[in-house]
Structure 1
Amino acid sequence: MKSFSNTRLILLHPSLTKHNPTPFSPNRLCVLAFISFFAFVFLLTLLSGRETPARRPNLFPSPTTPIPSSGPAPYLFDALIHYAAQSTAGLMPDRDLRSIAQLLRQRAPCNLLIFGLGPESLLWRALNHGGRTVFIDENQYYIAHYEERNPGLEGYDVAYTTKVSELKELLAEVRVQIRSECRPVQNLLFSDCRLGINDLPNHIYDVAWDVIVVDGPRGYSPESPGRMSSIYTAAVLARSRGEGATDVLVHDYEREVEKVCSGEFLCRENLVGADGQLAHFVIRGGEAARKDDFCFNRTSTAAAAL
């Protein structure tokens, strides 16, 4: 029997018997890259969602997008009226100002013809945003001044040849020529009626005017140009426009020339309102226009003037 006293026990650890792989084997690198990629995508999505607001519809058109011309917004309209009414230097009374503005609120954008150029002119032009506004005035230098300071403003000068003191004479002459030179429906460009304004640019007579405001010429003294011509011309333009109706507003209606000529050419049956210094007539053109005379019944005021 052998002795085992000198025998030594040697224990082998399992790790010493196996191959120890490298810490970053190709398989582990692939898994790590895959996880890192998705972690990066998730983090990028999270940060983008926090820092970038949700896409909202564009409420304002781009500068190249055409903006429809439908008149000024109500708040802008009211603001213009408010600030225009604050200054009284040369302005028409507040009541008349607001009456004209209210009509333009209803009809704008439209074809607007105004006899007279003054402190309210820029207001009328603004309230008719998107329409066509034309001014007629006796002072060519005044028109040039306005056009220089307000690019795009359209104004034309006219030489009035009548005087306030000639009212009765002129009315009598028109009545004699009512079926010839001074007839209610005609192209004034070819008319020889003394009250007809025929020296404006040709295209003015071809426009179907929706609103005509008579606030000129000045007409405040016997020797100054009266508004006989502007009222007569407004009446003929309204009747000669073709189908449709024209609102004609006459300012300073309390004065003799304005009241008598309005009764003679715009007619009492067409008067829809008179408030303050302003009278409002609605004149119909086309088939509804009278061809043989201006009015069905002459007003007593017009007859008294003769």
Structure 2
Amino acid sequence: MNVRERIEEQEFKILSKYAAKSHNAIRDREEEMCDFRTSFQRDRDRIIHSKSFRRLKHKTQVYISPGDHYRMRMTHSLEVAQISRTIARGLMLNEDLTEAIAVGHDVGHTPFGHAGEYALRDLIGHYNHNEQSLRVVEYLERGGQGLNLTAEVKDGILNHTGNNTPFTLEGKIVRSGDRIAYLCHDYDDGIRAGMLKPEHLPLSVSKVLGTNPSHMITVMVSDIITASEGRNEIIISPRVQAAMHEFREFMFKKIYHSDELEPDRKKAKYIVSKLFDYYINNPGSLPQEFLEREEQWGLQTVVVDYIAGLTDLYAIKQFEKLFIPATWGLSR
């Protein structure tokens, strides 16, 4: 019995009967098993070592071009993984599957966060970052070969947001962990930016969750573990669910849709729209690997794939290169 087989055997002995088991994981393309890592551990490693995950360090969470201590998409993804693993461990569910979904859930996010997502949606009529995340891991990574992830991980990535829910409890944990992370950490960054103060929180939120981001996370995580214990569902108590809903409404009003951040959101959308128009009209300027996919996917999809993969910094650099006149030295 090798290390992987021993781990798989331990999962059946230790984990909840409702947990997803690595031994049962399914891939579209069969491949030789690793002697040391389970299927879900390999999925996590493939995502973390991917180019799309590395690019998240330069993609906006909320604030465009922020200071050193503000969240970016990579730090958000790692924080979702930490929160979600805590819940999974408390419920004796599969931590490796939970972590793999969490680190991969945002790899399809555009530059400039949701501003970039909305810009592409306005341009082509339909664009959702969760669907693009699935596309990235399924088709675009590894030079167009994809990562060949398990069905359980791909389902969790696709359904971490939107109307459909994941078919595993681990995926449902990440769906909740994502919301906990972005609410608390965007609130923390809002305080750092001087846009919020703890006393601004509605009483219906502060009385239930508190005002300290760390304490808020603890309250919500503890509530999910307690409410979901021994059940084939991930549950949040009505009291905490109501407070989370009010918290989310507060954050949309004060941060996500705030007038203060609107100028930067408009600039970001303008950059994305101008780049899209340029590459649609000048497809020969796309990198060769994208040009080679045009026959299979069509020009619009290829352009969207390229733009969605850009980091904030690179998108700005390309905009300046294409649309801003060069600065020449002036003699006096």
> What is the TM-score when the length of structure 1 is the normalising length?
0.28
> What is the TM-score when the length of structure 2 is the normalising length?
0.26
**Higher helix fraction: Structure 1 or Structure 2?**
2
Structure with bigger gyration radius:
1
Higher RCO (Cα < 8 Å, 6 or more apart): 2
